[in-house]
Each structure stands twice: as structure tokens, then as C-alpha cells.
Structure 1
Amino acid sequence: MADIVFIVDQSGSMQAKHFQLVRQFIYRIVDGLDVSSKKVRVGIVLYSDAAKAVVYLNSIKEKDDILQFIKMLPYQEGSTKTGAALNFTREYMFSKSTGSRKSQGVQQLAVLITNSKSQDDVSIASVALRRTGVTVYAVGVKDADPNELRQIASHPARKYVFKADSLAKLEKSLQKLLCYNIIRAVFAVPVRSFNIKTGNH
């Protein structure tokens, strides 16, 4: 069981042809998960100048329906406001009213995908998101800033940061890691250390 929100860069730097690859990447990741209202729930945030929820965790309950929706995700140019997107996700996506099962002890995961450096600050926003108990994966392709990805992601970076020239190289490794972490949390007693200063866990 897990609640997973994909935070997807759709700014001008992404370009339409690359955004099509992002669609395929998310499609294949979701297709490999056991998606249903009682198991893995999926939400999607798209962002450029501003962030918007296109799928809440409780919007689409059937796996086939969400896969069809992913195929039609719209591309929109604009600037890259990753910090604002992280804040939006924290405020509106991981809440009980939009389908989060945090109060039931279900894992809360965010997967941010970007290909460029943010035009606003990400440090405060990423710490605030992690402090709510969300595990954050940062996926960077092409011109994404490795240092910024490390700021965004949960710690240690080697476990939660992915950087490559192509999404194809990331797909299987990220899918395996997501599945592994979900399974481990379900069948093991979770023991977490929490650093109030940095919000790492």
C-alpha cells in the first residue's frame, strides 16, 4: 500500500518531444504497480509557472483509467517553479480530503521529474514536504541540476536521487526501487530516524 504523487515539470525547457517521453515513463512506472483504491493510489501534479493537480489520490480508482489519462497529459510551456510545485503538493495532494491515507499509516511518496534548474528556491519547500512524512524521489534528466536534486530528495541521496541522460535508463531502476520500498514497509516494522532541523528521514 502506498500513496504516490508524481510532480512533473512541463515548463518550456522540457519541450514537447521530451514531455512525450515523460508521459511514457510515468505510464510504465504506474503500469508496473498494483494500482487500486485499496492498494497503490496515484496522484499527478503538473507545473511550470504554477502547479496544478490533474489527478488527486482519490480522483481515479481504476488502473486502466489512470493509464489512459496519463497518455493525454497536456504539455504547457512556461518557467520552472519547482519550489512552488513542492509547496502545492504538500498543501493540496497529501491530505485526507484528496485521498491521502497517511492517518492509516500508508506510505506517502512523491516522485519529482524535471530536466532543468528551478527558477525559484527549492530548499525550504523540499524540507517542509519531507517533514510531513513524505519520502521524496528526485528524477533529473538532461540539464537538471544534481545539487538541486539532492536538496529536493529524501536522504541519503544515493537512494532517492536519479540522474541520467535518458528516462529509459531510469525506468526499470526506479520502478524496482518503488516496489521494493513499498513491499519492505508493508512487511517490516518501520523504524525511522527523524531530524527536525533538516526534515530528513
Structure 2
Amino acid sequence: MCKHFHLSLQACSNAATDVVFLIDGSKSVRPENFELVKKWINQIVDKLDVSETKAHVGLVQYSSSVKQEFPLGRYNNKKDLKDAVKKMAYMERGTMTGQALRYLTDSSFAPAGGARPGVAKVGIVFTDGRSQDYIGDSAKKAKEQGFRMYAVGVGNAVEDELREIASQPTGEHYFYTADFKAMTAIAKKLQINICQEEDPCECDSVVKFQKKVEEALQALTKKLEGVSKRIAALENKIV
């Protein structure tokens, strides 16, 4: 099957993807802004093809500790998923982003956490401030394991930490705004490279090339068979 990555949040027609949101629920976010964050999550969910066989979504909230709101695969339709997001209760307290990233790699994207083998993994991290613990090792591990990481920061979020979390190229995986009300614009700009679509022209070219190679191999095989027969005949004459 010929595929290429389609850089958009359009509903994916044929992509199986595991997406986990890692959401900062620290005290600095504030209750009214936390409601905006939940709306932002659901804006992104609206663009995914949530189903049993395609997009699975998990949600993790963190502050001074980490709380799994729901694992990958629990909800296989948008309505139930969005309702669960709306019910997420605000934790408050601190900002332990490093601890949350470790949870993402060790638990959320583990088979025991609902992650599917051989399926693309996308992590979307939202924060509004500097982490109170070290994020370097955890951010590096997530990317080394092949997870596509997006970092979204609002307000007092430290941009160097966001860049450290984001996958390469950073410009496509890192977003920042000073205002929570601008998160709708971020949702529209956020491009997740998860929608794999077939390119008919590309596929036709590959199929034609493969057919020519097969024909050439068949012709070569016949010639080799003929040569082998002639060699065998000569050996019989010599004997």
C-alpha cells in the first residue's frame, strides 16, 4: 500500500493512531481557563476519526502528581469521548511536567495502557508554566521511542521547555500564545502528521515499476533456464 503523511487535522479515513493528551492542571491555570483547555481538547477530537479501529484517544492530567483521566481505547466514538473530557475535574497544585512525561512513555503508550502495537503514537502536551522538575530525560525518551510529540504553551509557559518537548521540526510541533482565549487558533493551526492517505498517482507509478521489474525477472529466469540446459547438454557430450 502506498502512503504519505497528510499534514492536517482532517478526519482520517484510514489511519490507526494512538493520541494522548497530557494536560497541565496546576493552580496557575485557574478554573475558568481550565474550561477553555477542555474545549480546546474537544476541538481537536472533532477532527479525528475516533473509532475502534482508527483513532484512539487517552487523557492524562498532571499537577504535583499524575492522574489518568481515561486510557487509550476506552471510548470508541466522539460523543462519549468528548463527554468524558468535559467531566475532567481540575486538580490545581504544582507543575511536574517531567513526571507526567515519564508517565506518558511508561504507562500511557504501553500495551497495558491500551496502546496498540505497530500504530503511530502522538503525544500532545499542554502547559502554562515552567516545570518544577527536570524534563530533559523524559522528553528525550519519548522522542527516542518514536512518539510524535507536540508542545502547546499558554501564558507563563517557558518556550525553551516547549521546544525541548516538541519533535522535529520544532516549528511544526511547538505552539505558544500569551492568552488562553487564543487556544482556538492553536487548535486550527495544530497539524498532526497522523492522517495517512493514499496517493493514486504515486501508487500507480510504483505498481507500474514493480510490474516492469517482475517482467524483467521472468525474462531473465527463462534465459538462465535456457543457458542451464545448454550447459547440461554440452556436459553430456563431453562425458
Same fold (TM over 0.5): yes
The equivalent residue for 1:58 is 73
The equivalent residue for 1:94 is 109
Q: Residues 81-120 of structure 1, C-alpha deviation per residue, up to 9 Å, x if partnerless?
A: 000000011111111122212x2x2110000001111111
Give the aligned residue type for 1:172: K
Change (3 A) 1:187 1:86: farther
The equivalent residue for 2:194 is 182
Matched residues in 1 for 2:68 and 2:52: separation?
18
The equivalent residue for 1:159 is 172
Q: 1:138 aligns with which of 145, 148, 151?
A: 151
Matched residues in 1 for 2:169 and 2:77: separation?
33
Q: 1:5 aligns with which of 8, 20, 45?
A: 20
Whether the aligned pair in 2 keeps the contact of 1:58 and 1:98 (CA below 8 Å) is no
The equivalent residue for 1:173 is 189
Change (3 A) 1:115 1:99: same
CA RMSD of aligned residues (A): 1.5
Q: 1:125 aligns with which of 119, 138, 153?
A: 138
The structural deviation recorded for 1:52 is 1.5
Q: Residues 136-164 of structure 1, C-alpha deviation per residue, up to 9 Å, x if partnerless?
A: 00000111111010011111211110111
Matched residues in 1 for 2:104 and 2:89: separation?
18
How many residues align? The count is 182
Q: Residues 8-35 of structure 1, C-alpha deviation per residue, up to 9 Å, x if partnerless?
A: 0000011111101000000111012110
Matched residues in 1 for 2:78 and 2:96: separation?
30
State yes or no: 1:73 paired with 2:117. Answer: no
Give the aligned residue type for 1:98: G
TM-score w.r.t. the length of structure 2 is 0.73
SS at match of 2:124: strand
State yes or no: 1:49 paired with 2:64. Answer: yes
Whether the aligned pair in 2 keeps the contact of 1:150 and 1:157 (CA below 8 Å) is yes
TM-score w.r.t. the length of structure 1 is 0.86
Matched residues in 2 for 1:58 and 1:32: separation?
17
Percent of residue pairs identical = 35
Unaligned runs of 5+ in 2: 1-15, 203-239
Unaligned runs of 5+ in 1: 190-201
Bigger Rg over Cα? 2
SS at match of 1:8: strand
The structural deviation recorded for 1:71 is 1.0
Matched residues in 1 for 2:59 and 2:160: separation?
24
The equivalent residue for 1:26 is 41
Q: Residues 29-65 of structure 1, C-alpha deviation per residue, up to 9 Å, x if partnerless?
A: 1012110120000000000001111110022222211
Matched residues in 2 for 1:33 and 1:61: separation?
11
Deviates more, 1:16-25 or 1:159-168: 159-168
The structural deviation recorded for 1:130 is 1.3
